């Protein structure tokens, strides 16, 4: 490991063109730059500029801002300013490295963490025309291979957790107010386990987490020495998962030996083979993972006594409750974890079971608000908050926390009100968003064609072994948007509830109005993040429900909406000759493109303004809705003929006063026979009414006088 540290310092010194030094156990270690080697530090092109699927690569080339380490939005580059920023970053790296004094494994981790923070926006090439690789990623991959390889061979491991959604939403029908913290805790537990399982294996071998290549969503990739394996650990974890997740989750893994040429030059092919093995593994019966070396008589789920059946946890209904509580050990731990998440700033790996997130029978993760004492601890700082710099993991654990006692709870005199500093319940979020008409919004988002982007969209380049760098960089870049990028967007409202956010997807719950607006902002910021790449798009499902509807039912509805957005083309796409879905949003059962949704949302704001000023009545809007629906039920050639008489009568009967001029202005495009967009507007009129109801502050039950 000392040779690896020396090599890392030498690379940094060569890029900086000056010596770099650290201290290992109080002893100074210094590396000079290599004078005979030509290494060019260059602006780092956006990874999306290197993608091409259905369209040519976008022009002009966009670059990662060298000062945007947290969320790398691409921008045009100023070459002169770039050199100035580079020199300042070199000075910071040299200064921070000189202050590092720790054990050898910790020094190596901390140096790489410093480089990852300061040089994330810089790239390197070996030749002027060669491909550009991010400096931190280049070092991370090279270090992982150096620590794992023996005789130019290592073992590549891919792991993936199945049954995540069943576990997260299990028993959610018991009521939204009772499961809010548990829901978030279970989702966070999965993300933490996907990080902790490979981390523990890496620490056992190297005393560092540097063998972990990626840990995003519910999966991970890990590089091990050729003689090591995760198989024994997998069996232990699955036996433990059977208990803690109530037999709903299983860890699937696949392994293969890999040579240096395969690892650096054809990484995606190796990873695809492992993905196929895991997919086949997921089709095996669950019992094959649980009872391969035991009998069902050892299974804690086999209840034999009447007494046991009479007393079960009220949350999972699977295990006996703890003395004096209604919850079993695991559900009580979930509730405690949900309460601790807002204060979590550090994640510590422990070789015992005392942490809040156990992982089998030998390891656990402890969550802390402050850095755990002791320099030898294996720790990660959450979202790069440490100073001095420490290894970082990115997670979006946003929870809507009440800054004062919840006014909704006070109004309804809730028996267990939300106090200042506690997470809001879902019922509170709905009521605070729209007291007159409280509803919840469920939003699920997924990146389109990710598999194709990974396997086909990343253009191979034979001038340098960059295949692994492109794959890992695309994974990291997408994950950074759905963790830190989304977390920053959610800070603008602070009333959205993250179920999961990371990898390439997102699931958020909140007040209907907040969710509807957030979905648009998210899609527009993602387009900016990709440089408006036509091949890298989002699809989303969005549903609005009453607060009392169970999360399980709402989740099924939003899953159907997302599936429709990905597979059923909207009317606009059909008119344009596009017969596939994607790059669109399904709201309930209506699918529209993102641009059309933006126009609908802005029009809904105008309709809501008319309703709030009482220029337009709710009953009048409902009559217009009936007219639109009646017209759409007629043959296509008769749509306009059916709509115009009823809509014109409604306007002349109720909206000819001077103060109602805004209503006539809004209706004008709907009353133009030559409007080419008329039928599309009529088809979306029900959705417009629904969005206007969400945006309106007035009570839809308010009695409005008006004629028939």
* 416 shares its domain with 277: no
Q: What is the DSSP string of 507-520?
A: EEEEEHHHHHHHHH
DSSP helix/strand/coil, 566: helix
pTM score, two decimals? Answer: 0.90
* 199 shares its domain with 97: no
User: What rounded mean pLDDT belongs to the chain?
Assistant: 85
Which positions ≥6 away from 388 have C-beta within 8 Å? 96, 99, 100, 110
In a domain, 144, yes or no: no
* 439 shares its domain with 379: no
Helical H runs in 130-175? Answer: 135-148, 164-168
- The CATH number of whichever domain residue 486 belongs to comes to 3.30.70.270
Contact (Cβ atoms closer than 8 angstroms) between residue 471 and residue 158: no
Contact (Cβ atoms closer than 8 angstroms) between residue 119 and residue 136: yes
| C-alpha span between 541 and 558 (Å, rounded) | 5
pLDDT at residue 571 is higher than 50: yes
| Section 42-63 average pLDDT | 85
How does pLDDT run across 488-498, given as a tens digit for each residue? 898 877 788 88
In the chain, the number of structural domains is 4
Contact (Cβ atoms closer than 8 angstroms) between residue 189 and residue 344: no
* 370 shares its domain with 442: no
Strands 20-24 and 74-75: unpaired
* 353 shares its domain with 435: no
Q: What is the DSSP string of 4-67?
A: HHHHHHHHHHHHHTS-EEEEETTEEEEEPPPSS---EEEE-B-GGGGB-SSSPPPSS--EE-TT
HEC string of 459-482 equals: CCCCCCCCHHHHHHHHHHHHHHHH
Contact (Cβ atoms closer than 8 angstroms) between residue 59 and residue 48: no
pLDDT-based confidence at residue 603 (cuts at 50, 70, 90): very high
Place of tokens 């009100």: 417
With vertex at residue 386, the alpha carbon angle to CA 381 and CA 390, rounded to the nearest 5 degrees, is: 60
* 555 shares its domain with 450: yes
* 497 shares its domain with 646: no
pLDDT-based confidence at residue 459 (cuts at 50, 70, 90): low
| C-alpha span between 507 and 249 (Å, rounded) | 19
How does pLDDT run across 174-226, given as a tens digit for each residue? 444 456 677 778 888 888 888 999 999 999 999 999 999 999 888 999 999 99
How does pLDDT run across 384-419, given as a tens digit for each residue? 777 788 888 888 877 888 888 988 888 888 888 888
Which of 65, 95, 130 terminates a domain? The answer is: 130
Q: Which of 11, 69, 70, 67 minimizes the C-alpha distance to 41?
A: 11
* 653 shares its domain with 518: no
Contact (Cβ atoms closer than 8 angstroms) between residue 41 and residue 135: yes
In a domain, 599, yes or no: no
How does pLDDT run across 654-690, given as a tens digit for each residue? 888 888 899 999 999 999 888 888 888 999 999 999 9
Q: What Rg do the C-alpha atoms of the chain give, in angstroms?
A: 28
| Section 589-604 average pLDDT | 95
In a domain, 39, yes or no: yes
| C-alpha span between 248 and 165 (Å, rounded) | 9
For residue 253, give the H/E element and its range: strand 250-259
| Section 46-52 average pLDDT | 87
* 179 shares its domain with 90: no
Two tokens, residue 123: 């790239």
| Section 354-376 average pLDDT | 83
Q: Which of 349, 417, 319, 406 minimizes the C-alpha distance to 209?
A: 349
* 355 shares its domain with 496: no
| C-alpha span between 460 and 50 (Å, rounded) | 10
In a domain, 466, yes or no: yes
pLDDT value at position 90? 94
Distances (CA, A) of 292 to 233, 470, 606: 15, 39, 63
pLDDT value at position 235? 86
In a domain, 70, yes or no: yes
Which positions ≥6 away from 456 have C-beta within 8 Å? 53
Read off φ and ψ for residue 398, nearest 5 degrees. -60, 135
pLDDT value at position 187? 85
Contact (Cβ atoms closer than 8 angstroms) between residue 379 and residue 372: yes
Q: Is the dihedral of CA 64, 66, 72, 78 positive or negative?
A: negative
pLDDT at residue 82 is higher than 60: yes
Distances (CA, A) of 333 to 174, 322, 645: 18, 11, 63
CB atoms near residue 145 (< 10 Å): 20
* 471 shares its domain with 428: yes
* 120 shares its domain with 194: no
| C-alpha span between 690 and 471 (Å, rounded) | 42
| C-alpha span between 391 and 219 (Å, rounded) | 20
pLDDT at residue 306 is higher than 70: no
Two tokens, residue 535: 């091949």
For residue 628, give the H/E element and its range: helix 618-633
pLDDT at residue 19 is higher than 90: yes
Q: Which domain holds residue 24?
A: 2-130
Contact (Cβ atoms closer than 8 angstroms) between residue 249 and residue 163: yes
Which of 359, 389, 419 terminates a domain? The answer is: 389
pLDDT at residue 61 is higher than 80: yes
Contact (Cβ atoms closer than 8 angstroms) between residue 168 and residue 244: no
Contact (Cβ atoms closer than 8 angstroms) between residue 380 and residue 390: yes
Provide the β-strand partners of residue 25. none
| C-alpha span between 195 and 173 (Å, rounded) | 29
| C-alpha span between 605 and 520 (Å, rounded) | 14
On the question of a cis peptide bond just before residue 60, with omega within 30 degrees of 0, the verdict is yes
In a domain, 701, yes or no: no
Contact (Cβ atoms closer than 8 angstroms) between residue 158 and residue 219: yes
Read off φ and ψ for residue 379, nearest 5 degrees. -135, 155
HEC string of 201-269 equals: HHHHHHCCCCCEEEEECCEEEEEECCCCCCHHHHHHHHHHHHHHCCCCCEEEEEEEEEEHHHHHHCHHH
Eight-class DSSP state of 423: B
pLDDT value at position 311? 77
In a domain, 282, yes or no: yes
Read off φ and ψ for residue 603, nearest 5 degrees. -65, -35
How far from chain centre, in Å, is Cα 371?
Answer: 25
For residue 554, give the H/E element and its range: helix 551-567
pLDDT at residue 320 is higher than 60: yes
Distances (CA, A) of 246 to 134, 423, 447: 42, 26, 30
pLDDT at residue 462 is higher than 50: no
| Section 543-551 average pLDDT | 89
| C-alpha span between 8 and 104 (Å, rounded) | 13
Two tokens, residue 248: 């709903």
| C-alpha span between 246 and 329 (Å, rounded) | 12
Contact (Cβ atoms closer than 8 angstroms) between residue 642 and residue 634: yes
Contact (Cβ atoms closer than 8 angstroms) between residue 495 and residue 511: yes
In a domain, 394, yes or no: no
Distances (CA, A) of 617 to 608, 647, 654, 687: 10, 15, 9, 18
Two tokens, residue 193: 């386990």
């Amino acid at each position: 490991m000392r040779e690896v540290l020396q090599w890392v310092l030498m690379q940094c010194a060569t890029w900086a063109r000056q010596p770099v030094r650290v201290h290992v156990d109080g002893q100074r270690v210094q590396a000079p730059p290599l004078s005979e080697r030509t290494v060019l530090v260059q602006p780092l092109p956006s990874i999306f500029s290197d993608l091409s699927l259905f369209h040519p690569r976008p022009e002009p080339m966009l670059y990662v801002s060298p000062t945007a380490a947290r969320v790398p939005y691409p921008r045009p580059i100023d070459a002169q300013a770039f050199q100035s920023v580079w020199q300042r970053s070199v000075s910071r790296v040299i200064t921070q490295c000189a202050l590092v004094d720790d054990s050898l494994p910790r020094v190596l981790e901390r140096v790489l963490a410093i480089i990852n923070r300061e040089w994330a926006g810089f790239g390197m090439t070996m030749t002027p025309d060669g491909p550009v690789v991010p400096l931190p990623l280049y070092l991370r991959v090279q270090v992982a291979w150096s620590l794992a390889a023996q005789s130019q061979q290592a073992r590549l491991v891919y792991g993936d957790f199945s049954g995540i959604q069943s576990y997260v939403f299990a028993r959610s029908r018991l009521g939204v107010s009772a499961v809010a913290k548990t829901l978030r805790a279970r989702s966070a537990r999965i993300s933490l386990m996907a990080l902790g399982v490979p981390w523990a294996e890496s620490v056992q071998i190297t005393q560092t987490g540097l063998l972990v290549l990626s840990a995003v969503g519910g999966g991970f990739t890990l590089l091990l020495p050729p003689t090591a394996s995760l198989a024994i650990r997998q069996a232990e974890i699955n036996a433990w998962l059977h208990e803690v997740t109530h037999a709903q989750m299983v860890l699937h893994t696949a392994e293969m030996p890999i040579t240096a040429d395969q690892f650096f030059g054809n990484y995606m092919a190796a990873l695809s083979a492992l993905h196929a093995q895991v997919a086949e593994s997921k089709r095996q019966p669950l019992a094959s993972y649980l009872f391969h070396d035991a009998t069902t008589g050892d299974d804690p789920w086999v209840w034999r006594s009447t007494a046991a059946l009479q007393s079960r946890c009220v949350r999972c209904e699977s295990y006996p409750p703890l003395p004096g509580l209604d919850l079993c050990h695991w559900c009580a731990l979930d509730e405690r974890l949900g309460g601790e998440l807002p204060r979590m700033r550090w994640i510590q790996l422990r070789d015992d079971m005392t942490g809040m997130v156990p992982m089998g029978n030998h390891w656990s993760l402890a969550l802390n608000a402050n850095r755990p004492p002791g320099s030898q601890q294996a720790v990660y700082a959450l979202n790069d908050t440490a100073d001095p710099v420490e290894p970082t993991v990115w997670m979006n654990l946003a929870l809507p926390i009440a800054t004062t006692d919840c006014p909704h709870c006070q109004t309804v005199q809730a028996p267990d009100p939300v106090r200042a500093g506690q997470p809001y319940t879902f019922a509170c979020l709905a009521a605070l968003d729209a007291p007159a008409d409280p509803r919840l919004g469920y939003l699920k988002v997924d990146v389109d064609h990710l598999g194709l982007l990974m396997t086909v969209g990343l253009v191979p380049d034979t001038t340098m072994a960059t295949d692994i760098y492109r794959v890992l960089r695309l994974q990291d870049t997408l994950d950074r948007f759905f963790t830190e990028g989304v977390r920053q967007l959610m800070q603008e409202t602070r009333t959205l509830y993250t179920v999961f956010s990371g990898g390439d997807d997102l699931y958020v719950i909140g007040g209907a109005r907040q969710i509807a607006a957030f979905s648009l902002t998210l899609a527009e910021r993602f387009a900016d993040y990709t440089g408006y790449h036509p091949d890298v798009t989002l699809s989303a499902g969005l549903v609005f429900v009453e607060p009392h509807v169970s999360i399980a039912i709402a989740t099924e509805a939003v899953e159907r909406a997302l599936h429709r957005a990905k597979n059923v083309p909207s009317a606009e796409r059909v008119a344009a000759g596009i017969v596939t879905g994607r790059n669109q949003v399904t709201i309930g059962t209506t699918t529209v493109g993102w641009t059309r949704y933006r126009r609908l949302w802005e029009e809904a704001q105008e309709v809501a303004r008319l309703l709030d000023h009482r220029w337009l009545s709710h009953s009048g809007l409902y009559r217009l809705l009936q007219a639109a629906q009646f017209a759409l039920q007629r043959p296509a050639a008769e749509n306009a003929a059916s709509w115009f008489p009823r809509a014109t009568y409604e306007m002349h009967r109720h909206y000819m006063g001077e103060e109602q001029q805004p209503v006539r202005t809004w209706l004008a495009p709907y009353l133009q026979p030559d409007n080419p967009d008329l039928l599309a507007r009529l088809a979306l009129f029900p959705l417009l009414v629904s969005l206007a109801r969400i945006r309106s502050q007035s009570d839809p039950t308010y009695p409005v006088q008006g004629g028939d």
